[in-house]
Structure 1
Amino acid sequence: MNNKTLPASKTKVHFMGVGGSGMAGISFLASKMGYEVTGCDLEKSTAYSDKFFHGHSPDHLKDIDLLVVTPAVYFQKVKDPELILGENRKIVITWQEFLGKYLQKGKKVICITGTHGKSTTTAMAGKLLTDAGLDPSVIVGANVPEWGGNARFGEGEYFIAEADEFNNNFLHYYPDIIILNNIEFDHPDFFKNEEEVQESFRKFIGNLRGEKILITEKDNPGKKFNLKVLGEHNQKNANMVYVLGKKLGIDQKIIIRSLESFTGIGRRMELITQKGHIKVFDDYAHHPTAIKTTIEGLRKEFPD
């Protein structure tokens, strides 16, 4: 597609696969920012608007300026006719490209990245800036109960985004601030080895602009917070956000109060049900390190 950025009020955007977690949040933010949004998905339960259609069809692209897709469509064995038409018209863009090129335009961008803890840290950061009255827009890779989804629209100058390294997706973002939690080998279906992972992160750090603030584990002040979420890994996440708050000049009392009232996000040690002394948690951890850390947190909290 061409390199011109179209004005929001005159741009018609169609989201193919709008029910996906990333796509749902991005389409919500696009609508709030003035884009004329339609969408479609194969799952009926995701067609929650009269402008969202069940199933895919080239007919959806009539008068559409941009076709936003998830990178997953490129891994399908057979291309959908809707995607083929979009490619022929040169209007296809991934949601990560759309986020970086359109939704983050003119904003001070804060990206949270790393192998582990991205979603929780992003939600913590979004809550902190909200509590500090900065009214940020936020996109997270998990459900945040207080927002009723994985995105928050705000009219402030900051845009906070979870930045995922898979498929080098985060290279579409040009942040002013990066929180880099950690780096381990992950996504072996995309990266051949650890060096490729590290090179991807190096390139992303090279995208820093403006003040070019990079927050890493070496900046961790080692504070102990009275958190509502379990585990030492969440203490580390909170410390990263604490440093962010200090960098932004937020009052320390507001930072601590915000972090210590954070109640978590969906599928990250989420308490699903409880019967007597039995508690059932849902956790998305799938990397060996994440599984180990989650189990350690549970054993510390429930030693018996």
Structure 2
Amino acid sequence: MTNFDENLLDKVKRLHFVGIGGSGMCPMAELLHHGGYVLTGSDRNESDTLQRVRAMGIPVFTEHRAENIGDAEAVVYTAACRDDNPELVAAREKGVPTLERAVMLGMLTRRFRQTVGVSGTHGKTTTTAMLTQVFMECGMDPSAIIGGKLPLIGGNSRAGNSETMVCEACEYVDSFLQLTPAVAVILNVDADHLDYFKTLDNIVKSFHQYASQATRLLVVNGDDKKAMESVAGLDKELVTFGLSDKNDYYPQEMNEEPSACEDFTLMHKGKPLGRVELSVPGRHNMLNALAAAACAHSLGAEPEALCQALHHFAGVHRRFEVLGKFEGVTVADDFAHHPTELTATLTSAMKMGYRKVWAIFQPHTYSRTYTLLEDFAKALAIPDHLILTEILAVREENIYGIKTADLAQKVPGSVWFEGFSEAADYAMSHAGPGDLLLTLGGGDVYKCANLIVEKYKQRQEAGKDGAGH
């Protein structure tokens, strides 16, 4: 059982992080390090984030051992950490407080007067990154914890020197209920993580609880029925955004060309605030931008700087990230792993003017694949060609008896492979100049994209060598 008190961070100086390289752990480590705390950490997996931790001068152990906790006064651990982890066991035996990541995030956010928690089933990472960029360009010097890398800050966290902080508020296993943000943003509420929530009604209830914990303002998608349902009956200041002009913030004079990136006039209650030309594709990103604009403008950001910042925002790592162009074929990678996200991303991709769009999708979790099978089939019928890989189990047993072949059967013309190497070879032997090869999924399908890039580069090198003889 977690043993801590709310004022723990006022009483301790030395912290140990178990799994410090995790995308949710590293940003907190950066903020605490910046705040003068003495940190150590452990992680078995080498990663860019771990390199970032080391670059801050934080000692990292690559094995989990009891002695790693040293003289730490509190131990923070990732949700993936097992109960019998030697460092956790040692901490408990010594009577050192142990805190799960979400609990520490909650404590950390309460140290800022103006914390913005960005929640929603889809778009959290992009919107959190957009808001970080907007706040920075509007001179608000925010701290930030983002679920993906923002090129502007060269990582997924930033330690600012103001009272403003922006972070993702993830609903999975009700993590976001640890937060008490000043501003709660709700982008959308959709059926996901049903292995935990069971029903959409339960998801709405959790979002309602999260919204009720906001101390100052709610920024909600007014076009999303379930999102509005989740804030019904709350006596809080409410600001809405969406595509229809019944919202407080909405777009007008949208570019009617079928272009990949939207541009529009940002409206606030009938008054134009400025022209926004997005540099990221898709209608879903226009909604993310409206959410960021509604939030930032409500907190005092200047409209001109706000619109400029939205134009400068060029995306996040693994969100339609173009990895290169080889032999005329564009290779890109995207995190979309839910039918709603796949529909948004693939619809955008189809408007980008590619000769053919090849989607390589890795289904993520058995429960999601099983419960949303028909929706997946519909979304994955959008591209010209579909290649599937094995379902990534993540934290589950396959009690559903679901297989990739079941999904492939529902999408005419699709093919599936067990490994990334076969999928990569198939894609490369069939794609031609002017095509897009797009890997999609919430798991490690980016490795397939990297493999394709690697294979194209090897082919280029071999070609050069051949030409030299």
Q: Place the TM-score, normalised by the shorter chain, in its bin.
A: over 0.9
The one-letter amino acid of 1:20's match is G
Q: Which amino acid aligns with 1:212?
A: L
Q: Does 1:55 align with 2:63?
A: yes
**Percent identity of paired positions between Structure 1 and Structure 2:** 30
Residue of structure 2 in register with 1:91 after alignment: 97
C-alpha distance in 2 between matches for 1:4 and 1:171: 15
User: How far off its partner does 1:190 sit?
Assistant: 1.8
Matched, 1:17 2:19: yes
Q: Given the alignment of the two structures, is residue 252 of structure 1 paired with residue 252 of structure 2, yes or no?
A: no
Report if aligned partners of 2:19, 2:77 keep a CA contact under 8 Å in 1. Answer: yes
Cα deviation for residue 8 of structure 1 reads 5.7
Q: Distance in 1 between matches of 2:18 and 2:103?
A: 14
Q: Secondary structure, in 3 states, of the residue corresponding to 1:21? A: coil
Q: Whole-Å Cα distance in 1 between the matches of residues 11 and 325 of structure 2?
A: 48
CA contact (8 A) 2:186 2:220 kept: yes
Which secondary structure state, in structure 2, belongs to the residue aligned with residue 222 of structure 1?
strand
Cα distance, 1:7 vs structure 2: 4.5
Q: CA–CA distance in 2 between the matches of 1:276 and 1:2?
A: 57
Q: Report the AA paired with residue 30 of structure 1.
A: L
Report which of the two structures shows the higher radius of gyration computed on alpha carbons.
Answer: 2
SS of the aligned residue for 2:281 comes to: coil
Q: Distance in 1 between matches of 2:166 and 2:6?
A: 24
| Aligned position for 1:274 | 325
Determine helix, strand or coil for the equivalent of 1:72. Answer: coil
Task: From 160, 165, 179, give the equivalent of 1:173.
Answer: 179
* Structure 1 residue corresponding to 2:250, chosen from 216, 219, 222: 222
The CA deviation at 1:114 is 0.2
Provide the rounded CA distance (Å) in 1 between the counterparts of 2:198 and 2:291. 29
Secondary structure of the corresponding residue to residue 34 of structure 1 = coil
Higher deviation after alignment, 143-152 or 275-284: 275-284
Q: 1:157, CA displacement in angstroms?
A: 1.1
Q: Distance in 1 between matches of 2:202 and 2:90?
A: 33
**How many corresponding residue pairs?**
300
Residue 10 of structure 1, CA deviation: 4.5
**CA distance in 1: counterparts of 2:340 and 2:80, whole angstroms:** 25
Deviations 1:228-268 (A, max 9, x none): 10100000100111111220122211111000110000000
1:203 matches 2:215: no
Query: In structure 2, the residue corresponding to 1:214 is in which secondary structure?
Result: strand
2 CA distance for matches of 1:293 and 1:44?
33
Aligned partner of 1:120 in structure 2 is 126
CA RMSD of aligned residues (A): 1.8
Alpha-carbon distance between aligned partners in 2 of 1:58 and 1:228, rounded to the nearest angstrom: 48
SS at match of 2:185: strand
| Counterpart selection for 2:290 from 239, 258, 266 | 239
The structure-2 alpha-carbon separation of the partners of 1:151 and 1:9, relative to structure 1 and needing over 3 Å to count, comes to: farther
Secondary structure class of the residue paired with 1:190? helix
1:296 counterpart = 2:347: yes
Equivalent residue number for residue 109 of structure 1: 115
Partner of 1:132: 138
The offset of 1:85, in angstroms, is: 2.2
Q: Is the 8 A contact 2:109 2:115 kept in 1?
A: no
Greater RCO (Cα-Cα under 8 Å, separation 6 or more): 1
Q: Which residue of the partner structure matches residue 82 of structure 1?
A: 87
Contact 1:9 1:35 in 2 (8 A): no
Per mean C-alpha deviation after superposition, the further-off stretch among 258-267 and 57-66 is: 57-66
Counterparts in 2 of 1:160 and 1:38: CA distance versus 1, 3 Å: same
TM-score of the superposition, structure 1-length normalised? 0.93
Cα deviation, 1:181-210, whole Å, max 9, x if unaligned, reads 00111112322221221111111011111x
TM-superposed CA distance for 1:214, in Å, is: 3.2
- Asked if the contact 2:18/2:77 (under 8 Å) is kept, the reply is yes
Q: Give, in angstroms, the shift of residue 143 of structure 1.
A: 1.1
The aligned residue for residue 36 of structure 1 is 38
Q: Output the amino acid matched with 1:167.
A: V
For residues 7 and 173 of structure 1, what CA distance do their matches in structure 2 show? 16
Gap change, CA 1:174 and 1:229, over 3 Å in 2: same
After TM superposition, the score normalised by the length of structure 2 is 0.61
One-letter amino acid of the structure 2 residue matched with residue 111 of structure 1:
G
Q: Distance in 1 between matches of 2:46 and 2:289?
A: 38
Please, which moves more after superposition, 38-47 or 5-14?
5-14
Residue of structure 1 in register with 2:191 after alignment = 185
